[in-house]
Structures are given as structure tokens and as C-alpha cells.
Amino acid sequence: MTTETGRPALEARDALDERIVVTATINGDERSWLSSSRDSLLEALRERLQLTGSKEGCNNGNCGACSVILDGRLVNSCLVMAAEVEGASVTTVEGLARPEALHPLQTAFLENAALQCGICTPGFLVASSALLAQNTAPSEEEIRFWLAGNLCRCTGYDKIIRAVQQAAEEVRTGVHRSPIAGTGTHGAEAGVESNTAIEGE
Ligand code: FES
Ligand code: FES
């Protein structure tokens, strides 16, 4: 059986492929799980760990919907094998907010209506958080250049750029200038239960 993208479904991969245990730090917690040796990181996140925030758009590295941060680097998780993240640290969109507050980017996307269908949004949020982690005062040109690998088919990009600019200002100054509540700080470890057992056995 195959999925709509022509890839073998989870059950088929498990039946055909060698199964491996992968241990990595996901959103601040050590996680170990059984993967097929052919699982991409995106498949492992979504299908083994039930972290479905990362989206599959193209599955070939073109859309950025699957963006995650791997050991401090922004990557397309559809292009990374799950086995490659052994011992690594991965931050997904689920790791951005704290329980008490959204990430400033999440608040800014809401306040600027920077999404419609939302499929691209996790990727934009993760990619933008990687930008703000190294540059809290990006120019519009720098934001557009950084986000060139993230595609949106709904909103157009201006609202997204405005949202990133607003979040950058908040991160830089610590001042939330919108009347809508929500002044979180970046917290990759927040909101995820610790789980060191092997999952999927
Ligand atoms: S799903 Fe990974 S880049 Fe499109
Ligand atoms: S909001 Fe629909 S693809 Fe971006």
C-alpha cells in the first residue's frame, strides 16, 4: 500500500525494512522510538512521535512546510533521514510556545492575519524563529531572502513579512505593541512531556 504521494505506507515500511531505534532530543526532551530505516525525519515526527505540526507539502525540499531546526540549523525534515538525527537536537513548531504564552511569532502571525489555510504556517514559524535566533533586527529584504524556501499559496507574503517584523521588534525590545495579548519568549523545550521509553514497540 502506498500513500497519496506514492511512498510506502507506514505498515508497508515496517514490514519490508529494517527497524532501528533512534534516540534524539525533540523539543528539549529525550525521545527514543522505533523507525523504519527508510523513514524521513518528517515521517518519524508525524507518524512515530505524533508531532503533526510539521507538514508535508512537496516531500522533495521545495516548499518548506516541513521545516525544523536540527542542531541549530534550519532544515527540511523531508530531506533528512530519521536515522541521521541519532543523538541530535530537533526543534519543531510544537517546541516554540511555552505553556503560558505563544511565541512572539505565533502571536504576530495571528494579529497580522498572516495565514489562511495554515498548511505553510508551521514551516514559516520555525524558519522565522531560526532567523530571529541569529538576527533580531532583520531588514525586510533579509526576511524575504531567509524565507525564500518557504512557499505559501494563500496569503501572499506581505502579511507574513509584517508579522516577522513585528515579532522581531518584540524580541528585540521586549515590548509587545499590539493590543492583543501574548508576549511569550522562545522556548524550544516547553510544553512537551518527557518520554525516554522506546516508542512504537
Ligand atoms: S515537504 Fe519538505 S520541503 Fe516540502
Ligand atoms: S496559508 Fe495556505 S499555503 Fe500558506
Render pLDDT for 22-74 as a digit per residue (tens, 0 to 9): 999 999 999 999 999 999 999 999 999 999 999 999 999 999 999 999 999 99
CATH fit for domain 10-94+188-199, picks 3.40.50.300, 3.30.390.30, 3.30.2130.30, 3.10.20.30: 3.10.20.30
The rounded Å distance from CA 127 to ligand 1 centre is 13
**In angstroms, what is the C-alpha Rg of the chain?**
17
Band the pLDDT of 190: cuts 50, 70, 90: very low
**Residues of CATH 3.10.20.30 domain(s) within the chain?**
10-94+188-199
Band the pLDDT of 182: cuts 50, 70, 90: very low
Q: Which three cell numbers stand for residue 200?
A: 512504537
Q: Helices marked H in the chain — which ranges?
A: 10-16, 41-43, 104-111, 121-134, 140-146, 158-173
In short, whether 62's Cβ falls inside 6 Å of ligand 1 is yes
In short, whether 63's Cβ falls inside 6 Å of ligand 1 is yes
In short, whether 59's Cβ falls inside 6 Å of ligand 1 is yes
For a substitution probing ligand 2, which of 121, 150, 158, 161 has the most ligand atoms within 8 Å of its CB?
121
Q: Are 97 and 187 in contact (CB under 8 A)?
A: yes
In short, whether 122's Cβ falls inside 6 Å of ligand 1 is no
Which residues have CB under 8 Å from 69's CB, separation 6+? 75, 90, 91, 126, 129, 130, 188
Out of 35-49, 127-141, 172-186, pick the least confident. 172-186
Between CA 164 and CA 159 the distance in angstroms is: 9
Distances (CA, A) of 20 to 23, 41, 166: 10, 13, 43
Which CATH superfamily groups domain 104-173? [2Fe-2S]-binding domain (1.10.150.120)
For residue 118, the ligand 2 atom closest to its alpha carbon is: 1
DSSP secondary structure letter of residue 134: H
Single-letter residue type at 30: E
pLDDT at 11: 80
**Residues of CATH 1.10.150.120 domain(s) within the chain?**
104-173
Q: Which of 153, 157, 156 is nearest to 143 (CA)?
A: 157
Residues with CB under 6 A from ligand 2: 115-120, 152-155
Strand partners, 175: none
Distances (CA, A) of 190 to 58, 72, 127, 184, 194: 29, 17, 18, 11, 10
Q: Which of 156, 101, 99 is nearest to 124 (CA)?
A: 156
For residue 200, is it left (φ>0), alpha (ψ between -120 and 50) or beta? left
| pTM, full prediction | 0.86
